[in-house]
Amino acid sequence: MGAGSRPQKAGKAVLILEDGTFFIGHGFGSVGKVSGEVVFSTSMVGYPESLTDPSYHGQILTLTYPLVGNYGVPSYEDKFLGVPIHFESIGIKVRGLVIQELCMEPSHWASKRSLDEWLRDEGIPGIWGIDTRRLTKRLREHGVMLGILEVYGEGEEPDLDRLFREVKDVPDPNETDLVKDVTVKEPIHYETSGERLVVLIDCGVKGGILRNLLRRKVDVVRVPYDFSCDEILEYKPDGVLVSNGPGDPKRCTSTIEAVRGIIEEGIPTMGICLGTQILALALGGDTYKLKYGHRSQNQPAYDLESGRCYITTQNHGYAVEPNSLDGTGLKVWFINANDKTVEGLKYEGGRSFALQWHPEASPGPYDTEFLFDEFLDRLGVKP
């Protein structure tokens, strides 16, 4: 595209799955072609947060809620101690977006541009006007699949024969080191003049996790996912938090090794989402891939100790194998009330624990934010 030229206007669009299922609709955002793992989320709100959630890196996201874009897109410039307020990171992390109905004229006091404009500005293709219910049912029955999303320029026609051939060779993003793409490259320090220091191992951390720590007056050092245990210990942390992130946790070999050392040092550790799986792997447990994952704001996490059930925000495609935990020092703390999968772990003595969901929500219910306070209690900090 030459200097000063305008982006090509989107025309038709096609989404095709590896089993040959295809959908023809209207394109929006950027003209172009992407491939990835096609997943769905049943969240009703929060597309700015979802699209910037690094855990979606490598994926084409389908939103099942029928109307998307109605409140527009806010500004990246609104920040709290350097962390964006309205987003989970800077920049869209999904490879493509699939929705049923697109709102082109949003209405919200904080909106700076439309969803269509945002995707176009960041080079992300989208498709709307398809039967997302049919697509979601297909993914539930078969499991998540690889696919191609292609948006054509105005007046161009889809080449289905070519797409049928290409979709058979789509590379699986989970076989690559996705975390490497979304972690920080160098340590970042967040100063609050707090009494305690937490090292945050960034596997693709959501901004909401950082905001929750900083609001509680904790100094944070955010380090790359491949930092060694010795490099982390140089900061003399009072605690360590292992963040969420994309892809297969078994790819994070250096993170797993570092967390094993941190636990052996007796440092209180909190895992969130991918961090839960890494904690389990570090102590000798195992993980497996779910059929279609948990991606929504209404997942029920049942506390086996108290008998209480919390409604939680989740975004993960892998889970901990409970039968692998014997002899690890880990016990199952929470389970999913729907499918009985592991939702939380507690390490012997209770100083370290991990949650498969997002206690910071963003968006979703904030009922379990108190778990950040429980983590700080283990550091000797009273909220």
**Residues identified as active-site:** 273, 358, 360
Report d(CA 275, CA 218) in Å as an integer.
20
Exposure class string for 111-129: b at 16+ Cβ within 10 A, else e: bbebbbbbbbeeebbbbbb
Amino acid at 248: D
Nearest to 330 by CA among 378, 284, 367: 284
Is 144 within 8 Å of 317 (Cβ atoms)?
Answer: yes
E strand or H helix at 232 = helix 229-233
E strand or H helix at 161 = helix 160-166
Report d(CA 197, CA 185) in Å as an integer.
20
Count, residues in the chain: 383
Residues 6+ apart with CB under 8 A from 242: 201, 203, 255, 259, 269, 270, 271, 272, 274, 275, 278, 279, 354
Q: How many CA within 13 A on the CB side of residue 274? A: 27
